[in-house]
Structure 1
Amino acid sequence: MSHELITYYDDATGERSGLTAGELGSWTAATAALLTAECGLARGSRAGVLLPPHWQTAAVLLGAWAAGIEVAFRGWSTAGLAPDTGPPLDAVFVERRRVGSWLEDVPEAPHRFVLGLAPHGAPTPDVPHGYRDFPAVVRDHLGTPPPADGVGLREVATVDGTTYGEYGVVAAEVARNRGIGPGDRLLIDATASEEPLTWLMSPLTAGASIVICANLDRTLLDARIAAEGITHFD
């Protein structure tokens, strides 16, 4: 199973989903096309991401960055998202369970997407008013090639002004400090690591693959480490 770049488990439901680098790249390119070709966003636009660690979250983040869009990120357990200064958000992505319970924490944006994070990217049931179902609408763009113009190292990646070059340097340093290198396979406890720099970008920058476990059942841990060829556990 080491050909999968990102694998997702939910021990509460028994779900296991896995994407190769090509499949994740396809979802990434589709997300970039959704934001640019359909929503009209461009370099310098801002997208808020209010999602837990998940393979669809990876597609949203990587797709926004591929399009040169600045990202504001908060995990599931962190309240608040809107940047303190600067222009408002142009798009927001939010996990379905959050809408209606912490609605006041979801900032306004012209383009609002909800993700049910259902197995295999299935459509979200009961889409709230004012939102579009990301897994459904992004599929219209699957097969779209990635943006022709890559982002420059000096372009801004996050709403706090961090550039892609600076973000990449930090991601590489985090990977080195964790002892993660090419070919490693990292097991992530989704409840313990919501920052994408930790669970997504540092392993990808190092050339490692990722296994995300939601609702981690530690009685399954030894068997999963063996089955997935895990070399690091966070």
Structure 2
Amino acid sequence: MNATDRTPADLLRSALAADPGRPLVTFYDDATGERVELSVATFANWVAKTANLLQGDLSAGPGDRVALLLPAHWQTAVWLLACASVGAVADVAGDPAAADVVVSGPDSLEAARACRGERVALALRPLGGRFPQPPAGFADYAVEVPGQGDRFAPFAPVDAEEPALIVAGAELSGAEVVERARADAPALDLTGPGSRLLSGLSYDTWEGLSAGLYAPLAVGGSVVLCRNLDRVDGEVLARRIEDERVTAARH
């Protein structure tokens, strides 16, 4: 990655320029058997479409708060980078009543109704599938995002020193996210390009976000993100680590 990268969106742009075809996020859900692998280019395309939805249809801009009521999931990673691209503040597990936009999984829809702004629901079904019946009062992400543009340009420049992320009560600027992610890399055994970290940690802490997205992205590595990892035994996990060519693990 480039030393001049100052926001998470910068990190993604550099990854795309360096090697768009390499894996970036590989996602497992051990409750459903789902496995999804996204290359840098595919992930960046999802981010661009989501950022266009956020900026265009949902009217979010720099400083607006987006409450993310979502688990550790590849689509959550997309939303985190979409917020960074727009300049909106990603408030992980934040209070919907205090948010301009809420993005909810299927298990938190009732809580999400406290948001008086725009509401988006994610079914979190395999292959990014839509809800069989869209939740009342919510836009279905899987319906809205495919038609969005494949390229994104923010209406206003994103200031790396402005708030970008709130997690576990801590507010971080875009620059602080990048700095902390880079600083975390050695302790996570991320040595640079080619590093591949398996993470079973929740996204509701900085440690989970760093291991599950930001630190691998910051060093040109990749992440194997596992949801419901407690459902697999040691033999299955060992086989996954081998099959996915994992170089480090946190779970």
Q: What interval of TM-score do these two structures reach, taking the shorter chain for normalisation? A: 0.7 to 0.9
Residue matched to 2:9: none
Task: Note the alpha carbon deviations across 1:121-147, whole angstroms, 9 max, x for none.
Answer: 111233221111112211111523354
Percentage identity across paired residues of the two chains: 31
Residue matched to 1:169: 179
Is 1:224 the counterpart of 2:235? The answer is: no
What TM-score, normalized by structure 2, do the two folds share? 0.80
Is 1:184 the counterpart of 2:198? The answer is: no
TM-aligned CA distance change 1:233 to 1:16, over 3 Å: same
Higher mean Cα deviation, 159-168 or 50-59? 159-168
Q: Offset at 1:161? A: 4.5
| 2:104 aligned counterpart, secondary structure | strand
Distance across 2 between alignment mates of 1:222 and 1:177: 21
Residue matched to 1:56: 75
Residue matched to 1:118: 125
Does the Cα contact within 8 Å between 1:92 and 1:107 map onto a contact in 2?
no
Following TM superposition, where does structure 1 have runs of at least 4 consecutive aligned residues deviating by more than 4 angstroms? 190-194
Distance across 2 between alignment mates of 1:92 and 1:124: 17
Distance across 2 between alignment mates of 1:93 and 1:40: 14
Higher mean Cα deviation, 136-145 or 152-161? 152-161
| 1:154 aligned counterpart, secondary structure | coil
**How much is the aligned-residue C-alpha RMSD, in angstroms?**
2.3
Residue matched to 1:27: 46
Distance across 2 between alignment mates of 1:70 and 1:210: 23
Distance across 2 between alignment mates of 1:105 and 1:120: 24
TM-aligned CA distance change 1:119 to 1:98, over 3 Å: same
Does the Cα contact within 8 Å between 1:8 and 1:211 map onto a contact in 2?
yes
Which residue type is aligned with residue 46 of structure 2? W
Distance across 2 between alignment mates of 1:71 and 1:43: 11
Q: Offset at 1:174? A: 1.5
Write out aligned runs for 1:82-93 (5 A): 82=95, 88-93=98-103
Q: Name the count of aligned residue pairs.
A: 221
Distance across 2 between alignment mates of 1:214 and 1:166: 26
Task: Note the alpha carbon deviations across 1:61-109, whole angstroms, 9 max, x for none.
Answer: 10011000011112xxxxxx228xxx9311111111222xxx2466414
Residue matched to 2:8: none
Q: Offset at 1:206? A: 1.9
| Residue ranges of structure 1 left out of the alignment (5+ in a row) | 75-80
Q: Offset at 1:11? A: 2.1
